[in-house]
Structure formats: structure tokens, C-alpha cells
Structure 1
Amino acid sequence: MALLLFICPANNANAAVSLATSFDAEAAENNGCEEAIDINADYAQKPFQNPEEWVSSDGLLKETLKVQYGEKKIGNCNVNLRSYNGELVGPTLRVKPGDTIKIKLINDLPPERSQTPSTIHEESPDCTYEEPTTANNTPHNFNTTNFHTHGLHVDPNKCSDNVLRLMKPKKEKEGKSPDYNIEVKIPENHPSGTFWYHAHLHGSTALQVSSGMAGALIVENPKRGLDKIPQIAAAKQKIFVFQQIAYDEDGQIENYNNMGSTAWKNGKWHTTVNGQIVPVIIMRPGEVQRWRFIHGGVRESINLELRDRLGRQIPLHEIAVDGIALGKLDSWKNAPIELEPGYRSDVLVKARPWWKISQEYYLVDRPTSSRILFPTGEAGHILAKVVVAMTPPLSMDLPDNEQMAEAKKKDAPPNISEEKIADEPQTLSFSISGGQFMVDGKPFSLNNVRELELGKAERWELKTDEQSVAPSHPFHIHVNPFQHDRLEPGQKECVWQDTWLGCLLCREPKTERIWRDTLMVKQGTPETILTRYDKFTGKFVLHCHILDHEDQGMMQLVQINKASQSGSE
């Protein structure tokens, strides 16, 4: 039976319009890869599956991750894509504060087709590097990789979260696959939360992540924070790694031709969840589940709503953003949760307690005006389906705001004091002009370094240049998160209503200060953030998280130095 969902427009909760969920498929040619995805086909609506999990034990997570071509199927298309361990999504890493992650990464990809000069550091046995003097801001070296732990506050040097490493493929087609050691020490006081990892070599990042080289990284702490709240601890967890996997008519991706701004408009591709097309989640009436959302895609916005078959919205109760607790329940009832590339959101979902009638909900990607490259949006997509079993209801409650505030107090970083912020702000501008992708008017260069001081707190002013070709860019900085003021969930509230003239005075939603590591910066809407450079010195990067923009130069090198004697606190 074909799915049919009625979606209420945001400006009229009582109206309903139908949303067709199948596409007119073209004739099957070339291995089925020319067909549009049909979510009513046999390959869709399979039981929801969390990715494979690797769990730390006695303070250590020690595993082997192989980068290889993986033969899988997406829709009717047999794909052969670069992958972690041959899967469409990498395994979930579950660790605790104080743990060490030790990964042996084996690069089993074939030799590079062309020997493009390296733009990143060369590998040596003790994880030290010799730096080249030039950077190549064209996509290149698609079989060379490295490893980034997105959102973790960890050391950026040597074998840790170091995206300036170079992990080369085999030198000969039948030769030995080189291996590389990754060792990430998670601080004892690290917040629990939802983070992720992905490939991050400048020049090949977008192509590899578009192929599925990404996975969830969960930091758990049953002793403090959200994980200690009984209602949250009792909830089943679902991990959603949203991916926009790209491939051509042969089921491969070997260049950037299929990664441009119009590639997602033809309906051939569909945002997957853990590599699945519209997986089906089973809930019991009254049950509460914890859903961990991760935008592991490259460029497209995702705007999430949960609705029943009549288009009525089921609240998504947000408890954390970018891994860090909010300190209260933010219930999204009249607006979608916005996920831009790199964003994460943890939500609690409570099924209605009705059990004598059939219930189905749909997790929908809604078109909004915040689309990165298509401001008018396109038809909403169903990403997952929920079936509520017709069984007696469970008695499960949501946590209250007092519990949430206490969890944040014990686990989240302390707020940044306005009194300790430096007088002069850091400024940053994204732009595209003349075919160049730039930060502060310059494409990525190893000689252009933003130097910061350890222990210092600063205000940053971010903007997208008014003359830039692309209107929006998600800002991401490694190592240190930042605080940002966002509007709370909800719409404008009318406080003075006239019978004939309508609403004459509206109250805007309040703002709340939250922690983030990635933030969309829209043209004409500058953003201000506060950040503090804690614990770690060394080099890392900031960049636009539309990853093909990053590969082409929209990235900047950052170096944190020890505080001078006079400037130390």
C-alpha cells in the first residue's frame, strides 16, 4: 500500500494538503541507478536498524577500521562506494569520559589515479610531520584519507583528532594496505552526548563523506548529566545518521560532477537513515524513546517534524544540541528542528497512549525558507515511519525542567563570563567569488594562520559576504565548542488582537543560550558567538561544513598557543 500523509502548512494548523510519497520512475537502465527512489518499493520500509556498535571496556575502545570499496544496494542501484568496513554507515563508537579510543585505520583503497602533490602533512612513525608550503584547493587524492572526531573537546595533535594527517592508500594495486594508528584520549570532565566521526582530508572530504564514510560517536556517563535522569535512562535509544549518499549511473562516485547544487533536485537520491530508506520504528502506546539525530550529509538542510497520518504534529522534545544538554525540555510543536550539515540533536519522543486504534507517525523533512541552496524548497520527504503497536500502554514519563537543569549543571561546560571576554572580537566572513571559496577573502593556505591564546575567552562575529554566490554557510570549528543565542521553539505570539485588522502586536519567542560546534551563517544575518580556548594547544581548522566548499578552499588554519606570562589568567 502506498503511503499517503497529510501535512498541515505551518501557517494554518487546520488545513491539510496531500503529500505524494512516490516518484515517477524512469525506465530502469544501467543497473537501476537512473531510477528515482520510491519509498513504497520493496527495498524501503524495512525494520529500523541501529548501526553496528563498538563499546569501550575498562577505559579502552580498541578496534580496526578498514577504508575500502563496499558493494551495497541503495534502492534498485548496486553501488560500489568508498566506505568504512564495507558498510553505508560506519560503526557507532560508545565511550565514557576518561576513556581512550585506539583505532587502527587500514587504507585498503587502490593507488591514486594521479599523483597530486600532497597538501597536508606527511606521515612519519612517531606521528610528527613535515609541513608543505602550498595548499591545493581543487578536489584531489580521493583514495587518501584521515579521521576527525567531530565535536569532541580533545587534543588536535599527533595521533589524536588531527586532520592535518595524511593516510595514504596502497602504493600498488595488489600491494600491502598501509595502516595508521589513531589514539584519542577523552578528558575525564568531557560532557556526555551525541558526536560523530568522519573522513576529513582536504581535497577528498566531500567525496568520501558523500560515499558514507561517517559514523556516530556517543559519550555516555551514567554518573552525571542526561544519562543519569531515570526517565532518559529508561528510554530505548535510536541513532539516526542522516546521509545524502551520492552516486552516478554506474553506482559510483569518482569525481565532483554529481555533487553540485542541482544534483538533489532530480529525485534520484533520497536522504537515508543509517543507509536505510524509510526504516520502520515500532513503539508501544505511551512509550518514550530517545532519538539521536546526526546530520552526516554534505550540503542539504534537513528540517524534521514528526506527524501522524492527518498531519497533526507529534512534539519532538529536544534535550541536547550538538551533544551538550540544553538544561530544559525544548518541545518543537509548531516548527521543525533544523539540521544543517554537522548538526546534532537529541530528542525524546512519546507515543500517544491510545492503544485500541491504529497509529502511524512519519518523520518528515519539511521544506522551509532556510534551505541552503534552494530557498523555495521542494516537496517534503518522509525519512522514517513509526508504527505504534496496538498493545496496552506503557507508563513512561518525560523528565521535568528541574531535572534537566541539574543535569546540565553537572555535565555541560560552565557558561562563558561576559566580564572575561576580550575587548576586540574575532571576525570571520565566508565568500565565493571568481570561482574561489574563501574565508576572510582568502582561500585556504598553510601560510594563513589565525593565532589564538590558550585560556582566553573571545567574542566572534560571523557573516556570509553579501556578494557571495551561495547565501548560507555552516561554520564549524574543531576542538572548542562555542555559545550562541537562538530562538526558543514556537512562533510569534499575538498579544494585541483586533477583530478587523488582525494581530497588531506580536511577541517574539525568547532567546536561549546554548552550546554548539556548528552554526549556519546566512547572508544578511550575522551571528555572534562566545568561545573559550581550553586545555589544548596546537593546530586545527575551521571551515564551512558544506564539505565541497571546504575542499575547494573555504577553510582556515587555527593555532592555539600557550598564554604569555602577562596575558595568563
Structure 2
Amino acid sequence: MDDSVDRRTFLAAAALGSAGVVAGVSLLGPSAPRAAASAAQPATGRGRQLPSAAPNFGLAKFLDPLRIPAVIQAHSRRNSGELTITMTTARTRLHSQLPETTLWTYEGRFPGPTIEVRSHRRLRVAWANELRGTVPLVAVRAPYAQPTPANRPGYRAADGSLPAGVELIDGVADLPPWNVVHLHGALTDGGNDGWAHNGISPGRTQLTEYPNRQAATALWYHDHAMAVTRFNVHSGLAGLYLIRDEEEDRLRLPRGDHEIPLILADRNLDTDPATGALTGRLLFKFQYLPASGTTAPVTGPFTLVNGVIWPHLDVDARWYRFRVLNMANGRFFRLDLVDEAGTVHNDAVRIAGTDAGLLPAPAAVPVGGLTLTPAERVDLLIDFSRFPGQRLRLVNTGASIEPDIMEFRVESRRRADSFVPPARLSTSYVRVAVPADHDEVFVATTPPGVAGRPHPEMWELKEITEPGELPMHFPEEGVLQVTDPATGRVRTFRTVARLFDDTTTVFVDRGRWVVWNLIQLGGAPHPMHIHMARFQLLSRHKFGDLTAFDVAAGGTTRPLPAPGDGPAIEKHEEGWKDTFNLWAGEWIRVAGRFEDATGQFMYHCHILDHEDEGMMRPFVVHPPEVSRFHLHPGGSGHHPGGSGHGGH
């Protein structure tokens, strides 16, 4: 039986509070999540009731006000398009009932200040590393065991000893500051993108230039250092970056105090072994199954918004605009707006934009909630005029520990508010029509256990077109046969790279359209982020049967059958994006044009544990006039038409 975790299984089991699905990874085997899914068919529409809250581990919910990150106007008279942002070690309270937490921060704040720029106006940033000490968290491995979830706070026994199966992760406590900043979603040259190997130590500065030649949107900056991104971001190194333009200005969307960032994250905290009290120290706890060693991405029981655990926000009875970012290492959020009785009011919410810009028109929240995977952004409009004097909650119905995120406290008096969501948002938006002359890249993700390797992997594929190149026997490690849903033709692919430092195989000519074919062969879902361009989702297909992929052998025993149509593409999914979630058994196609910047870039799963464990690869964009002289891995000049080596 296939043990993949599809979207319905993952979200339904999590909504029930089933600890058998942790951040999208099946830890209890194939049967438990399926049972949970069948037991939790979500009700539709307004009036859906949500499950009751889970333990709060001693912290009062909604006690503290939401903190609003400071805003830096990059093109003000004071800054004139040049900034110095300093990374510093700071101490702050994540909750007023906690001791201070030591963090690595930008400008002493968690999250960092919101940088605001104008479209098509260049910004130069000097990212100065003045961090000190070693990484401010404790990292452990803990066995998953029912009925106590392994991502509860703390990890030691009452006498201070380590329980059976719990161990400190060797080397993490010694990690020094070594950092490189990536502006996620920026269209900038490779030298400014935050190449993972280009980390800098304290006393050094990373110099970057961002052209900002893109439409109004919410980007975010975060650490991207090779192999330690998960620890550095978890320690606090992230912040929002807003691009403004005239198209957005003309819409007169809520601004000022009525436009608020909501940066979502989750964290775990250490406890005092003698008293059990929370110490405030960040705890990075891997969960694993002792029998197989299979691990789940790190998640935590405490949900933070703008660096505050379970905050509240006093709001006027009028429309607001919220710039929402999922900054979590591995947590998926399924967002619902509910009242004190638990009744869902998503009909008061409109989706105005996604990762890379405004939608053509406001979109409704999908039935069952809005799923936001790590690194995704969403631009929400919420009408609080319908709820004077009420308290509403933003909740995560995909949470296995605690659904509550934050509380909105609506004022009692009604206000005059002339704002009405416009019927048309982005007049510059066009739905992509990919030209016939384009390139194709094929990438497959695999579940843990392939050929005995413990982590999921990401394979770059090259199509085998000559009969003499076909394997003599199947399965062969790294060789996949799939049936193309468009033509019904069986296509054979060989894996040409799977580790970050393997030979670069994907080369793109500047100005070319490229369709990325992302194929998920089972296991956890993967939010896939491709640097340097904006993309649209073209199609989603779903394999009904993945048993042809032999996990132990690492190849297909027979061609995977043609996938059928997957879940329909929602209206908000038609927008420009840079991160796409790849659910189990899906084949999605996303298209983007590499029309501006050049250089070497990365693409990867944005579950940071997966990224650091190997699910990241490079690609190159260069001028077409140069590509004919470039010697590719085969030894001859690069094909002038495009990628060639990514499955062209």
C-alpha cells in the first residue's frame, strides 16, 4: 500500500489533532492517516465548526499585543536607496510570561524590520554581520511516541538526564555565525541572490544590489547559508520586504495602520528539568521513528505572529489588509477566520495577491481554509465591520498541537469606511500562454528510504531518447519511466544529479520560457521554490498508483501509469508565484520566463530541514550569445536553444 501523504490526508489528520501526521510526514504507517482522513471530511461553507483548542503549556493565549515590525523606507531622503542592515545578537520576550530569549536578528528585531521600496528603483544593501556567540538554540533528536508528541516543550528528564532515545545533535552547539542573506522572490543577478556557499563571518559585510524591477508584492529576506539555514532562520534571521508601484497605489487598498504584516512561525522551547518551567531558550527538536530512523521536519507547539506567541490585535470595525508570510521551518498553516463559538467566517476574507503580486481580481478563500506552506505569502483583505464588539480568531486547522494563531478584538462602534474591494485588481496581469518554443526541466522528489538513504531527495532528470541508452533490466537506481498525461507516451528518464554539488545540468538562455515539471514520488509534500523568476501554475495531475516506483531499488519496475487530473487549480493559485506545494503523487507544471537577471541560482524545497539535508540544486541563466560557447557536461558547446540538460 502506498504510504504517501496527499493533501486531504495531511490536512484532515492534522485538523483532528492526529500526531500520526507531523508537518506532512506519515510517521505511523499508511493506515492511520487514511483512517483520520475518512473520519474528518470537512464541512463546507460558512458555519463550519472547528475542533476545540489543545494545551497551551502554561502560557496565556492572546495576552500580549501584536508587535508591528519597524518600517524602513528605502528611498526616503534619509536613506536614498542605500541601507546598512546589521545582524546582531539580541534578547527579547516571545511572551510576557516567559524569560527573555536569545536570538540572532536583523537590527536587533525578530522578525527584522520591514523594508519598503518602490518598483524599478534600485536599492543597495550592506548586510553587516555583527553576531556573536554560537547559534542560540539547543538541538536534539527525540523518538516519536504515543500518546505524548515529541514536539512538546523540553527534552530532559526531571533529574536532568536524557531519556531513552533522546540525544543532543553533535556539532550544533558549536556552530558560529556564518550567514548569507537571500531576498526571496527578488529578480536580481546571481551575485546578489545570496548563494548558499557565500556565507560571511562576524566583522564582514555582504554587499547586494536589488533592481526591484517587478510589480508590487511582498518578498522576504532570510538567511540561506549552506547546510545551516534551518538553524539560522530558526534563530530569528528573517524579515519582510514590500515593493510598491503605481498600479497598487491606484487601488487605494487599506494603508497605514490598516495594512499590517502577519509573519507566521512556530517554535519550541526548553524547560527547566527541576521545575518544568519554560526557560525561553529555543529548542530545535527532531522527531524520528526508532525502528526506521525516519525523521519529520521540525515543528513546535507555540505559534508566533511577528515574534509574539498567540498575540491579540485591536482592530477598527472596517476593512484591513494583512500581508501574511509563512516563515516556519516546516509548519503548514491552513487558515480560517472563526468567532468565539468556533464558526468559520471566511466569507469576510478576500485574497488580493500571492507570492509575486496582485491577483487580477479578489478571490474567495477555498472551502476548507487557505493552505499556506513554508515561504508562501498571501495578501488578505478582511472586513471587520461585520463583527462590532466581537472577538475573532485566526486559526490553523492544519495544526496537530494547537490551532489558535492570534485573536482580533473588534471595536464596538461602527466606522464610516468607504473601501470596497475593487472588482479588478491587477490590470497588468495576464494568464501565461507558453510559446511552443520553450524549454522543459524535469525534477522528481523521492520519499525517504531510496536505496537505503534516510532523507527525501530531489532528482534532476534527463530524458533517454535513444533505444541503446535504455537499461537492460528494471528497476535500475535513478531511472524512471512515466506515462505522459498529454500524449499517453511512455517516457524514460535517468537521474543526472541529486546532491547540491553534483555537476550543474540545467542551463537557461536569458529571455527563454521554461516549464518546470515537478513530479512527487511519495512521502511528504514539498513547497518548491525556484529563485530568480516568477511563475504560474499551468497544470496539476495526480498519480493514482505509485507502486511502480520501487523505493528500495530507487527506480520504477514498470512505467508509472498516466496521472489523472489533480485537484482543480483555485482562482488564487492562478496568480504569479515563486513557491509551489507539491503534494504526494502529483505532477505539476509551472512556467516562468528568465527575462532579466543572469548568473547562478538555486531551487529547493522550502521545508528547511529538507533543503539542508540535500533537497537543493543549482541552475544557470546566461545570455544566449554566450551559451553557444559554454561547454556543458557532455563536452560540446551548449545548445543555443536553452536548457537541454534538464530534460529538454
Deviation by residue 1:264-313 (Cα, 9 ceiling, x = unmatched): 4xxx631200111222222222x111000011111110111111223131
Cα–Cα, structure 1 residues 142 and 304, in superposed 2: closer, same or farther, change >3 Å?
Answer: farther
Cα offset, 1:83, TM superposition: 2.5
Contact 2:267–2:303 (Cα < 8 Å) also in 1: yes
Structure-2 separation of matches of 1:437 and 1:544: 10
Deviation by residue 1:445-468 (Cα, 9 ceiling, x = unmatched): 1533421111111222101223xx
Deviation by residue 1:92-125 (Cα, 9 ceiling, x = unmatched): 1111121313224123234799xxxxxxxxxxxx
Residue number among 374, 388, 393 corresponding to 1:341 in the alignment: 374
Cα–Cα, structure 1 residues 530 and 391, in superposed 2: closer, same or farther, change >3 Å?
Answer: same
TM-score, normalized by length of structure 2? 0.66
Structure-2 separation of matches of 1:38 and 1:479: 41
Q: Match of 2:385, SS?
A: coil
Corresponding residue for residue 513 of structure 2? 457
Cα–Cα, structure 1 residues 354 and 417, in superposed 2: closer, same or farther, change >3 Å?
Answer: closer
- Alignment partner of 1:205 is 2:245: no
Q: Match of 2:611, SS?
A: helix
Letter in 2 for 1:309: E
Which ranges in structure 2 are unaligned for 5 or more consecutive residues? 1-39, 137-170, 272-278, 289-294, 460-494, 541-566, 629-638, 643-648
User: Please, which moves more after superposition, 387-396 or 143-152?
Assistant: 387-396
Structure-1 separation of matches of 2:210 and 2:529: 21
Cα–Cα, structure 1 residues 258 and 522, in superposed 2: closer, same or farther, change >3 Å?
Answer: closer
Structure-1 separation of matches of 2:226 and 2:130: 17
Corresponding residue for residue 484 of structure 1? 537
- Alignment partner of 1:473 is 2:526: yes
Q: Match of 1:352, SS?
A: helix
Deviation by residue 1:169-203 (Cα, 9 ceiling, x = unmatched): 3xxxxxxx41214222324x411111100000111
Corresponding residue for residue 129 of structure 2? 106
Contact 1:248–1:258 (Cα < 8 Å) also in 2: no
TM-score, normalized by length of structure 1? 0.74
Residue number among 215, 230, 233 corresponding to 2:239 in the alignment: 215
Cα–Cα, structure 1 residues 354 and 200, in superposed 2: closer, same or farther, change >3 Å?
Answer: closer
Structure-1 separation of matches of 2:511 and 2:47: 54
Cα offset, 1:508, TM superposition: 6.6
- Alignment partner of 1:281 is 2:313: yes
Corresponding residue for residue 504 of structure 1? none
Structure-1 separation of matches of 2:518 and 2:589: 6
Contact 1:475–1:519 (Cα < 8 Å) also in 2: yes
Q: How does 1:199-278 map to 2 (within 5 A)?
A: 199-221=223-245, 223=246, 225-232=247-254, 236-249=258-271, 251-252=280-281, 257=286, 261=296, 264=299, 269-278=301-310
- Alignment partner of 1:309 is 2:340: yes
Letter in 1 for 2:216: S
Q: Match of 2:435, SS?
A: helix
Deviation by residue 1:234-271 (Cα, 9 ceiling, x = unmatched): 8811101112234444644587657962754xxx6312
Contact 1:107–1:168 (Cα < 8 Å) also in 2: no
Corresponding residue for residue 352 of structure 1? 385
Corresponding residue for residue 419 of structure 1? 435
Structure-2 separation of matches of 1:232 and 1:290: 6
- Alignment partner of 1:534 is 2:581: no
Contact 1:144–1:166 (Cα < 8 Å) also in 2: no
Q: How does 1:475-554 map to 2 (within 5 A)?
A: 475-485=528-538, 513-554=574-615
Structure-1 separation of matches of 2:211 and 2:254: 23
Cα offset, 1:66, TM superposition: 2.9
Corresponding residue for residue 131 of structure 1? none
Deviation by residue 1:356-409 (Cα, 9 ceiling, x = unmatched): xx3111111112xxxxxxxxx52552111111111133233322323x1xx341
Contact 2:527–2:580 (Cα < 8 Å) also in 1: yes
Cα–Cα, structure 1 residues 211 and 482, in superposed 2: closer, same or farther, change >3 Å?
Answer: same
Percent pairwise identity: 18
Contact 2:234–2:329 (Cα < 8 Å) also in 1: yes
Corresponding residue for residue 185 of structure 2? 151
Q: Match of 2:514, SS?
A: strand
Structure-2 separation of matches of 1:236 and 1:191: 21
- Alignment partner of 1:38 is 2:71: no
Q: Match of 1:45, SS?
A: coil
Letter in 1 for 2:83: E
Structure-2 separation of matches of 1:383 and 1:226: 28
Q: Aligned-residue CA RMSD in angstroms?
A: 3.3
Contact 1:19–1:380 (Cα < 8 Å) also in 2: no
Which ranges in structure 1 are unaligned for 5 or more consecutive residues? 1-7, 25-35, 114-137, 170-176, 368-376, 488-506
User: Please, which moves more after superposition, 541-550 or 45-54?
Assistant: 45-54
Cα–Cα, structure 1 residues 255 and 168, in superposed 2: closer, same or farther, change >3 Å?
Answer: farther
Structure-2 separation of matches of 1:456 and 1:397: 41
Cα–Cα, structure 1 residues 20 and 256, in superposed 2: closer, same or farther, change >3 Å?
Answer: closer
